[in-house]
Structure formats: C-alpha cells, structure tokens
Amino acid sequence: MTSLMDADVVVIGAGVMGLSAAWRLALAGRNVVVLEQFCVGHHYGSSHGPTRVFRVLYDDPLYVHMAQQAIRLWREVEAASGAQLLRMTGGIHVDDPRVLRRFRATLESCGEVVEELRPAEPRARFPWLDAGDSAALWVENMGVISADATVDALHGLVRDAGVAVVEDAPVEAIERGDGVVVRAGAHQVRASACVVAAGAWARPLLATLGVDLPVRVTREQVLYFRTDSTDLVPFVHGVPYWVYGVPSSGVLKVAEHGTGAETTADDRSFDLDEAGAQRVREYVKKVLPSLDPEPVSFETCLYTTTPDEDFVLDRIGDVVVCSACSGHGFKFAPLIGETVARVVEGTTPPVPLDRFALDRFA
C-alpha cells in the first residue's frame, strides 16, 4: 500500500546538506518531509566519519566570507542541539611561498588573522610536523568539526521541529506539474517544492527531469594514524596536491584531497586503494615522524565535483538543486541550509547565487 504525504517542501537526501536545509525550512514554518534512501548517518555517501576540517583557508574572498558566515550558524546549531560540533584550534598551511602569499593576501583582505611562519618555525612550534624548509602560514580560524555528531544533532533538531524523516526510501521519480510529486517505493510525497540534496546520486536523479548536472564522482579514502600527541592541529600541505590532517581523540586523519578514481554512487568500492595508502604512509614517515606510519583504520567517501569546483545552488521551477559540493562543502552546511531555505521562501539568500547557478555550464 502506498502512503501519501502532503508537505510544503520535500527534501531528497538526509546527509548534512539535506538535514541542514530541512531544519532551516522548518524554522521558517514550512511543513517538511525528508526522504533518505538508506538510513540517517549511513556510510555510502559524503557526510559520514568522525571529523572534518573547518577552514577559512581559501584564496577566493567569496569562500572566505562564506566560511565566516558559517561560523555564526554553526554556533546556532550547537545552541539549539546542545552539542559541541565545531572546535576552533587554529591550523597550518604548508606550501610554496608564492601560493602562501596569495592566500595570505586574500585572508587578510577579509579580516582574518594570519601569521607567516619562517621555515624553521613550524617544527619548533609543532614538533610533530616536519615540513623541512617549506614555508607555512598559521591561520587562526581553522578547527575540527565533529561530522557524525553533526548529522546526529541535525537529525534530532529536524525531528524536534516536526519534520518527517523517512528512511529506506530511494526516490524513483520526481514529477512536476502543479508543484511536485516524489515517488519513493511505498511512499509518495506531494509538495509545493522539492530540494535535491542527493550528493553523488543527484546527477541521475536530475537527469529524469531533463536537468544535466555536469559532475564527476570520485571515491576518496582517508587513513587514521595512532598518536599520543595532544597538541595536534589541522593542517593542509601542498605537495603538489593537498595532503591534509585532522586530529581527533588518539588519532590523526591523513588523506590526499581529490586524487580518487572516478566511479558512480552505486558502483563505488569500499576497499582500500593500496597505492594511495602507500603514498600516505610514505608522507607520514617523512612529515609526521612521531606517528606510527601504519594506519589503524581507513574509510572511504565520495566527492561529487563540478568542473570549476564551485557548488551548485540553483532553482529550476519548483526544484531546488543543493548538491555537488566538490569535496569541500561540509564546513558550509549550516550556511547552505540557510541559503536553500531562503531560495524556497523567495527571500534574499546570504550568498550570491549567480556563482553557483547551473547555467554557468551552458
């Protein structure tokens, strides 16, 4: 028997973006239904894992300003949920001096606190990091997001706000007419608007509406290394692609950014990529000598990346696209949720949507 639900807005996807959008829509007084094809907190997509790095570290003023706005909204989520989700620690960027000058100029133009570290300073201040003679920056507004805890907190907030979260409900069709009808197995939701926050599943889903989302999906992996150090902070290291580290209790997450093999959301592998893991082991031996270079665990995730690595936040009739965060979106989740809610409400969003419009790919 098919259950029919009526709502103001139906959100497809209960990852961090979908839940953030659902919460903000509920706060705006909208009746919201969320459809999740697996369960909340599943490990098949892009929102799981113990940590993410928070950084204002961009050489693009738009993203710096977005990260600055996001901090305030993270604190709102924390206040509403009672959970500590974002711990600011400061962080390190190791790179070519010319790259660092560009980042520093951008950050300082946006009012950020940045300190140049001479080649010998990183090792003196952070004995666990051996960057050789590389230049570095200390960036005050960096920190650690508790990722799994964020999804749990948002899940609790949306339920407390009266949002219906339907799990094990893979969407089969979105039908547009007078509003939308979303069909998901035994569930059917009739709504005035639909938010597609389906991550790596967004492209085939939107294709059924004749909307082309030009993205590539890659399977990435992160490795966890045991450490007794208590003074670890997040870092990024251009070597020439970014390797990054994020500390949590007793371990340091170390990973390459965006080097994974292309795949699809349904065909991706969960197995260790041994060649990539070996590169990370060698990096740990050289740059993080106090760590045991043998990882204690690993996990995989998906990046859904646009050609320009900008996000997609756009409205096509009654459908709002909130996907393709290109491997650097988690830190912005509360801001993206607020933006989606404003788009649905027809009010001024907190970010300039022209930068994230689909027609830029036309």
Residue of 83 and 123 predicted with greater confidence: 83
Q: Are 26 and 9 in contact (CB under 8 A)?
A: no
Task: Assign domain 89-143+216-305 to a CATH class.
Answer: alpha beta
Query: Within 10 A of 145 (CB to CB), how many other CB atoms are there?
Result: 21
Residue 359 DSSP SS3: helix
Instruction: Give 165's Cβ-side CA count (13 Å radius).
Output: 26
- In CATH, the number for domain 3-47+149-214+308-361 is 3.50.50.60
Does 259 score more than 70 pLDDT? yes
Average pLDDT of 185-194?
A: 96
pLDDT of residue 48: 97
Nearest to 298 by CA among 276, 272, 261: 272
At 237, the pLDDT band (50, 70, 90 cuts) reads very high
Q: For 108-135, how does the pLDDT look when each residue is reduced to its tens digit (9 = 90+)?
A: 999 999 999 988 888 889 999 999 889 9
Q: For 6-52, how does the pLDDT look when each residue is reduced to its tens digit (9 = 90+)?
A: 999 999 999 999 999 999 999 999 999 999 999 999 999 999 999 99
Backbone angles phi, psi at 65, to 5 degrees: -65, -35
Average pLDDT of 173-187?
A: 94
Does 66 score more than 90 pLDDT? yes
Let me know if the fold of 3-47+149-214+308-361 is the same as that of 89-143+216-305.
no
Give me 256's structure tokens: 């390459």
pLDDT of residue 1: 64
Domain residue ranges of the chain, discontinuous segments joined by +: 3-47+149-214+308-361, 89-143+216-305
pLDDT of residue 119: 82
- Our CA angle for 220, 226, 229, nearest 5°, is 120
Does 155 score more than 70 pLDDT? yes
Average pLDDT of 211-240?
A: 95
DSSP 161: T
Average pLDDT of 99-103?
A: 97
DSSP 31: -
Q: For 287-316, how does the pLDDT look when each residue is reduced to its tens digit (9 = 90+)?
A: 999 999 999 999 999 999 999 999 999 999
Question: For residue 11, what are the CA distances in angstroms to 30, 42, 232?
Answer: 12, 17, 38
Does 2 score more than 90 pLDDT? no
Q: What's the mean pLDDT when you consider all of the chain?
A: 96
Give me 96's structure tokens: 């070519």
Q: Are 324 and 305 in contact (CB under 8 A)?
A: yes
pLDDT of residue 3: 85
